[in-house]
Chains A and B, each alone.
Chain A
């Protein structure tokens, strides 16, 4: 070959290499609502040419490597699916806007929100359709319906994930931990549905960026304000009235959203108690919360936001016996949260998220009794609090399509004051020692695609924890293996190990003051868990149906609980003597979900079979026993039918095993302290109990129905009436069991004069058939107009 020919060949080869190199480009971007500019977390983004795809994260962000001139298919629940031709020749940042389906053709949902394994997911659109006891959607009660998740008791919003305790769930509100998550003693959750964009609950296989709690991560993304117009909504329900306002701050290319809730029952209770015959006191319970978020987007690749949440429950009591004699008891408990966050797309391959936050949970039980002067005023106060300062920074970097990386750092300083108290009359004052803990975490995660259709995600989380003289270093490995048989069927295998350094003891059934948190230290060892899961996920009938099957096994170590007979340690400086430590737990089970997301009829069927146990040295003679809230069978059937675009019918049927209880197997005499006339101790009957939690209450089931109707008010405002009936067939579900004598179901305590009598087993049940309603009125333009210029360019490119 001549020199000329060699040169020509070399040039040609170089060109070929160059052409080949340009064949693939990185598309990075956000998927958003075309009207509100709201990011769409969990939207499915697919390369039509390679059939490879992914879901946007909770910031609506995605990165995908595609061939030049290929098409991206983007879909999301309730939005029109779009196909976009990728005309760019180099790495590109895009903002993809999807049009809400119901603004164009009605309310039919046309796409599935695709999530990974071990994730229970609910979009706002999904959970607001569920009929609820309060007439308004509730995060906790919605999540409870999904496989692997249970409620502890009827009516509660508290969740238990795969056999975990309530204190083992990490609630992230825009990536910031929230400590206290319930209002009204667990009846409703603190998360106002008006500000929620999406909810993802990780039941296992946690990504490396998550940790610190054993059982679940509940990642709640808040909405961002509307950038095109000011909007508002006012909602009235059985328990509370709420509002939401959002809109643009056009001068700074920013937006805001503010929501708030306030109970209606406190003034009613105050009036009822004040004017009840014979009463000389006023008592009132209530809660309020307020959320606000300001988002500033100085450029297309940067976003900054400031979030504030403040919410409290309160129970107040006033009594004025005489003009000089007053008694006041004031109880308050709740959260305060403030955070500043930044999201920045450095290059199409590099994205970062940084936040700094402060969260405070505190409860106070304050009592003042005053006589004529200050010297005869008695004060009693009990407190408990946790403060959390957190800094975190996360970077996502894609080396290639086959290697995606995520690394980050989290540093948290917490100040615990579990049990403070003061009492001026006894002179006893225990200010409640503040225990400081520090947790530093470095994590890294790589998503590797060694061969086509096989993905390995390897994560490692290194945690260093210290509190006073105690310190602990731990490595928490995470492994996820995913095999895609084809575009529609995937199996997954995962393993995770995580530690928990913050421990909750909680008083069940108490409306107030029911959560006290303790840090790990020399007394309480860090709790830890290992979890193994195997899952399959498949889409059928053009993705109309999603099916999911998961098997899991979980072990937990160093759990704590109250010693038997104790239910509160508030204000107790000797709390150590009431805590049972070094508990073990295990849970295993099978979860099944089938979900229909298209057509007029949508809904899901979720089923879980599980077995959960606990073992504590000081309880049940150290023998393993069924977990207090173990429900082996749990089934939820939810359906939503669009009768017309403005009229929807919802139905929800729930069926669960009854909770375990400890049965009495016999009875015998025991001596009391009382003496009879001859000086003998008086004897009364007492029960002989069988195995702890060795029997089950009757099955739990109920049917809820709901109807929502959208209408236009005289002032051309959109309004929605929602009617629902909780427990339609008035099933008396057991709240608890107890033994009592024949003569009356009212609990009767025998005394010395009570002869022994036959006993019967009774159940107490609450929550009979309850009809409720709510009304929502929207204060935006009657028919929202889309930004036509933006709609035309629903996808646009910027370098």
Chain B
């Protein structure tokens, strides 16, 4: 509504113009880009590509890299190229292990990336609140309340994925009005947080969410699958930086910050993210009943 008002003023009085400023950019040194999100219990997948110039049409995949994954127990996995930049291994990722990934791309410096797979934290209870509040469109929105185990002696990071089973398809739900102090303290409207403010072995978080579908006065409710991910510190930093990056990259009119923000990387001598998480998936919730 605020954006609408501001844009009304702008449109009425000072219609904006968009013009091309530059379409040729200085060359950019090519470097390998390594991306991988290791998930406990699954096999490793690493995506390797090159950087590109801003004006390039395509971003090239690296198809001839040597990718080796080692854990702190001495296990070694040689990953094979399967196409579209993906390299796949055969060893199962294990919680609490430290993984080091060595990548050799011919003609470039060797790349090393390290991450520790976090220990899975369990969901102790999950509650669905059908009417949690009203948004500024006048729609009643729902919420979930997740109670989970915590380790107060260790810095832990979490991500809650709320998935809706809408009309036979799975889609992610975004957060609505944020009221939980943990998320407010984190500052970003994404369900990614640390246990910095949690002082007991169990913690609880309430997340209002939107289904993006409503009748005149309330959002329509759908079956919900909630996944609690215990994520690594690197992945936590990446998720936060990605949100801030997108705020600047795709500004929401005059209200957005529009400031360019670089993405977090823990890949030495290259770009990308080497992160990980352990996940706990809850039983499906049926806000309207199973039928």
Contacts and interface: CB of A to CB of B under 8 A. Distances in A.
Nearest to A664: B54
Interface stretch (A15-23, A318-326, A461-469, A716-724): A318-326
Interface stretch (B68-76, B90-98, B108-116, B256-264): B256-264
Contact of A371 (B15, B217, B243, B244): B217
Interface stretch (B99-107, B128-136, B146-154): B128-136
Nearest to A738: B251
A655 interface: no
B136 A367 contact: yes
Contacts of B263: 670, 686
Interface of B: 1-2, 4-6, 8-10, 12-23, 25-26, 28, 33, 35, 37, 45, 47, 49-59, 85-86, 132-134, 136-138, 161, 172, 177, 179, 181, 184-188, 206, 208, 216-217, 240, 242-245, 247-251, 254-263, 271-273
B259 A662 contact: yes
A573 B182 CA distance: 11
Interface string A614-655: 000000000000000000000000000000000000000000
B5 A763 contact: no
A378 B136 contact: no
B216 A563 contact: no
B125 to A, nearest CB: 19
Contact of B187 (A423, A566, A674): A566
B257 A746 contact: no
Interface in A281-323: 283, 285, 315, 317, 319, 321-322
Given A285-B9, A423-B133, A574-B185, A666 B53 contact: yes
A509 interface: yes
B48 to A, nearest CB: 9
Contacts of B21: 697-698, 734, 737, 760-763
A327 B217 CA distance: 11
B217 A764 contact: no
A745 B5 CA distance: 23
Contacts of B25: 664-665, 761
Given A573-B184, A698-B21, A738-B251, A666 B5 contact: no
A465 B9 CA distance: 42
Interface in A732-752: 732, 734-739, 742, 745-747, 749
Interface of A: 155, 184-185, 238, 265, 269, 272-273, 283, 285, 315, 317, 319, 321-322, 325, 327, 329, 367, 369, 371, 378, 380, 423, 425-426, 428, 507-512, 562-567, 572-574, 577-578, 661-662, 664-671, 673-674, 680-681, 683, 685-689, 692, 697-698, 732, 734-739, 742, 745-747, 749, 755-768, 770
Given A329-B1, A574-B185, A670-B263, A683 B35 contact: yes
Given A265-B9, A510-B2, A669-B33, 17 more contacts: A273-B8, A378-B133, A378-B134, A573-B181, A577-B187, A662-B260, A665-B28, A666-B52, A669-B59, A669-B85, A671-B273, A680-B47, A681-B47, A689-B262, A742-B23, A758-B54, A768-B14
Contacts of B51: 666-668, 688
Contacts of A315: 2, 5
Contacts of A184: 9
B30 to A, nearest CB: 9
B23 A761 contact: yes
Nearest to A692: B260
A584 B174 CA distance: 37
Given A315-B5, A761-B23, A155 B56 contact: no
A759 B250 CA distance: 14
B28 A512 contact: no
Nearest to B29: A666
B254 A510 contact: yes
Contact of B260 (A689, A756, A760): A689
Contact of A765 (B19, B45, B240, B261): B19
Nearest to B184: A574
B44 to A, nearest CB: 12
Contacts of A681: 35, 37, 47
Contacts of A423: 133, 177, 179
B4 A759 contact: no
B289 to A, nearest CB: 22
A734 B21 CA distance: 10
A578 B206 CA distance: 21
A732 B273 CA distance: 40
A574 B25 CA distance: 42
Nearest to B208: A426
Interface centre among A508, A758, A765 (most CB of B within 10 A): A758
Contacts of B257: 508, 562, 565-567
A667 B56 contact: yes
Given A423-B179, A698-B21, A732-B17, A669 B35 contact: yes
9 contacts: A319-B138, A371-B217, A423-B179, A425-B133, A507-B255, A574-B185, A673-B161, A686-B249, A762-B20
A152 to B, nearest CB: 13
A118 B16 CA distance: 37
B25 to A, nearest CB: 8
A563 B50 CA distance: 31
Contacts of B19: 732, 745, 762-763, 765
Contact of B47 (A671, A698, A747, A756): A671
Contacts of A321: 138, 216-217
A155 B14 contact: yes
A681 B242 CA distance: 15
A537 B116 CA distance: 67
A573 to B, nearest CB: 7
A369 B55 CA distance: 49
B18 A746 contact: yes
Contact of B28 (A185, A666, A738): A666
Contact of A766 (B10, B132, B217): B10
A564 B1 contact: no
Contacts of B132: 425-426
Contacts of A319: 138
A322 B216 contact: yes
Contacts of B16: 735, 764-766
Nearest to B186: A577
A745 B17 CA distance: 10
B138 A671 contact: no
A82 to B, nearest CB: 46
Contacts of A759: 54-55
Nearest to B22: A761
Contacts of B243: 565
B188 A565 contact: yes
Nearest to B133: A425
Contacts of A578: 187
A299 to B, nearest CB: 51
A567 B47 contact: no
Contacts of B184: 572-574
